[in-house]
């Protein structure tokens, strides 16, 4: 575990105000079990296990709490583990390829003769995994597949989680509370997990941990009034595909078939929505409707798309770190660079500024272009595209084929749900929109649900009719073929990225042979 050793050696050598110079304190924090003490009026509404930790979600007076109860670990075993870690850090001849977990277990059985360690074998392995994870007290939360996000805004307040099964309660406080030193230590560890530097000079950072979780962290009071803070967005245990989104009614099968058909003509598509509506999830799912023989270039600040395509070309930005030759590389720089990489589709994870003009240019040059954009409505998105800092020319704006808008809504008995609420086509250079699909919130149903109404409503399909010299029956036939294919995926439970991509590729290969 070279990473673990280097991590603690760096901790010992750092000199800024918040250096982790109390390794024992850090280790004791992790090895001390998190305990839930029930009160007489606690009502358990959900209970399950995460490894050896017991998770109980309880109603207590006027709040709902997410509680963690970890297995007990005798104090003498905790102390022995800390001593072994000390010896490991001091050993300059340690083999970096050696499994530290096995080493701790071996040493523990040799040194702690006063306790029957076999009784606590599973608990010891749990705490060793927790120690080596680098997530500290967040370990059971990070490993809970029902937790979407973890947040702490200041010392001495409860860490909170957003729970997918109980989204109607929004953020749930946990029984984990961190004092100032513990929270400072934790955000520094998270920054190292994400490969980012955090200090008084650079008091905030964001990035992905090696497991794929997204973190946004602050240190001290430099830019955060209440002190150190973090938000950790968990990587889903399984990436949702178009099959999943159709099954859970985020998008209708006809909308998906329409999108699949439109994608073949290298469109300019913008996916809009507010925070946490599932824009990136939908973008990733749509991209797996492309076969494996296309080249897709993606540009992101923090890589989240993770496509299965052979010719996926991911580019990420670089912040200015200082130094003579360290230059900042932003989305706009990469977008211009990407035009020289001979891609078929150019994707920007989220558009915020002048890079939108490069996307519009790429669309004119024949690229398929997709991106996401924060907006609370389709009309708002269309208007903002012409305002600074984006400032799209009205004529260039007319290159946009579709705006797909996502909403997050509360439904009784289901909690918060995510839906494609509208798919609209901008009309020429005006700010008018042609709404092709819409979602009825009362019925939880997408309309239209017939090919004939769709073909009659869609200006994009009429444009294809005209430019490709095909008739309505041909387009109907193509849409039906794609809808039948998507139904085949659903009926056969084909729902992993690789499986979907393989079947999509075969679908298009058969069409070429036909």
Q: How far is CA 189 from CA 33, 137, 424, in A?
A: 19, 11, 45
Q: What pLDDT score does 256 carry?
A: 97
Q: What is the span of the domain harbouring residue 503?
A: 242-513
Q: In percent, how much of the chain has pLDDT > 70?
A: 90
Residues 154 and 183 in one domain: yes
Confidence at 94, pLDDT banded by 50, 70, 90: low
Q: Do residues 102 and 15 both lie within one domain?
A: yes
Domain check: are 363 and 229 in the same one? no
With CA atoms as reference, report the closest residue to 172 among 195, 151, 154. 151
Output 463 or 427, whichever has higher pLDDT: 463
- Residue 429 three-state SS: coil
pLDDT at 108 over 90: no
Q: Provide the pLDDT for residue 12.
A: 46
Cis-peptide into 389, omega within 30 deg: yes
Lowest mean pLDDT among 51-60, 98-107, 158-167, 330-339: 98-107
Tell me the pLDDT band of 92, cut-offs 50, 70 and 90: low
Quote the pLDDT of residue 177: 96
Tell me which DSSP letter residue 318 carries: B
Residue 173 and residue 250 in one domain: no
Average pLDDT of span 373-387? 89
CATH label of the domain that carries residue 489: 3.40.50.300
What confidence score (pLDDT) does residue 20 get?
A: 41
pTM of the model: 0.83
Average pLDDT over residues 421-430: 84
96 and 127 assigned to the same domain:
yes
For 247-296, the pLDDT digits (tens) are 999 999 999 999 999 999 999 999 999 988 999 999 999 999 999 999 99
Q: What's the pLDDT at 430?
A: 61
Cα angle 77, 83, 87; round to 5: 145
User: 350 and 450: one domain?
Assistant: yes
pLDDT of residue 91: 66
Residues 6+ apart with CB under 8 A from 59: 42, 43, 45, 65
Residues 291 and 220 in one domain: no
**Would you tell me the crossing angle of helices 121-133 and 100-111 to the nearest 10 degrees?**
140
User: Would the pLDDT of 155 be above 70?
Assistant: yes
pLDDT at 321: 59
Are both 285 and 181 inside the same structural domain? no
Residue 503 phi, psi (nearest 5): -70, -35
pLDDT of residue 183: 94
Last residue of a domain, one of 233, 252, 281: 233
Lowest mean pLDDT among 88-92, 288-292, 433-437: 88-92
Host H or E run for residue 151? strand 147-152
CATH of the domain at 62: 3.30.450.380
What is the arithmetic mean of pLDDT over 4-21?
46
DSSP 100: H
164 plus 224 within the same structural domain = yes
Question: Do residues 398 and 369 both lie within one domain?
Answer: yes
160-184 mean pLDDT: 93
Average pLDDT over residues 495-501: 95
Number of domains into which the chain is organized: 2
Q: What six digits make up the tokens of 152? A: 């702490």
> CB–CB of 136/230 below 8 Å?
no
The mean of the pLDDT values for the chain is 87
Is residue 58 domain-shared with residue 122, that is, in the same domain? Answer: yes
Report the pLDDT averaged over residues 9-13.
Answer: 47
Average pLDDT estimate for 304-323:
84
Whether residues 286 and 229 fall in one domain: no
């Amino acid at each position: 575990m070279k990473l673990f050793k280097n991590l603690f050696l760096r901790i010992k050598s750092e000199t800024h105000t918040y250096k982790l110079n109390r390794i024992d304190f850090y280790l004791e924090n992790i090895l001390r079990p998190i305990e839930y003490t029930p009160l007489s009026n606690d009502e358990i509404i959900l209970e399950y296990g995460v490894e050896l930790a017991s998770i109980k979600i309880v109603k207590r007076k006027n709040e709902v709490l997410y509680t963690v109860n970890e297995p007990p670990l005798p104090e003498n075993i905790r102390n022995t583990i800390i001593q072994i870690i000390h010896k490991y850090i001091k050993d300059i001849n340690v083999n970096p390829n050696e499994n530290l977990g096995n080493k701790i277990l071996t040493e523990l059985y040799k040194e702690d003769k006063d306790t029957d360690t076999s009784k606590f074998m599973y608990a010891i392995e749990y705490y060793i995994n927790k120690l080596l994870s680098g997530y500290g007290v967040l370990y059971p939360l990070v490993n809970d597949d029902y937790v979407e996000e973890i947040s702490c805004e200041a010392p001495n307040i409860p860490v909170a989680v957003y729970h997918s099964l109980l989204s109607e309660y929004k953020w749930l406080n946990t029984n984990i509370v961190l004092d100032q030193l513990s929270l400072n230590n934790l955000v520094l560890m998270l920054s190292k997990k994400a490969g980012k530097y955090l200090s008084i000079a650079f008091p905030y950072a964001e990035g992905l941990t090696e497991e794929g979780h997204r973190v946004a962290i602050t240190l001290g009071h430099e830019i955060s009034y209440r002190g150190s803070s973090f938000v950790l967005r968990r990587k889903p245990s399984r990436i949702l595909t178009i099959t999943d989104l159709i099954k859970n009614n985020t998008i209708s099968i006809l909308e998906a078939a329409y999108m699949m058909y439109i994608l073949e003509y290298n469109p300019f598509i913008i996916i809009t929505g507010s925070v946490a509506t599932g824009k990136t999830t939908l973008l990733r799912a749509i991209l797996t409707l492309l076969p494996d023989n296309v080249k897709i270039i993606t540009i992101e600040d923090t890589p989240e798309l993770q496509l299965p395509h052979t010719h996926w070309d991911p580019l990420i930005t670089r912040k200015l770190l200082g130094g003579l030759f360290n230059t900042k590389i932003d989305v706009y720089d990469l977008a211009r660079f990407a035009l020289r990489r001979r891609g078929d589709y150019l994707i920007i994870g989220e558009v915020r500024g002048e890079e939108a003009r490069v996307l519009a240019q790429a669309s004119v040059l024949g690229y398929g272009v997709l991106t996401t954009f924060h907006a609370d409505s389709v009309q708002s998105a269309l208007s903002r595209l012409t305002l600074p800092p984006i400032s799209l020319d009205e004529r260039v704006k007319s290159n946009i084929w579709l705006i797909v808008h996502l909403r997050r809504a509360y439904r009784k008995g289901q909690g918060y749900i995510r839906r494609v609420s509208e798919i609209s086509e901008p009309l020429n250079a005006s700010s008018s929109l042609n709404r092709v699909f819409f979602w009825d919130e009362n019925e939880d149903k997408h309309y239209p649900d017939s090919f004939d109404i769709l073909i009659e409503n869609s200006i994009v399909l009429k444009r294809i009719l005209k430019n490709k010299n095909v008739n309505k029956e041909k387009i109907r036939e193509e849409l039906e073929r794609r809808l039948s294919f998507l139904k085949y995926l659903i009926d056969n439970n084909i729902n992993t990225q690789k499986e979907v991509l393989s079947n999509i590729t075969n679908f298009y290969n058969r069409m070429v042979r036909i």
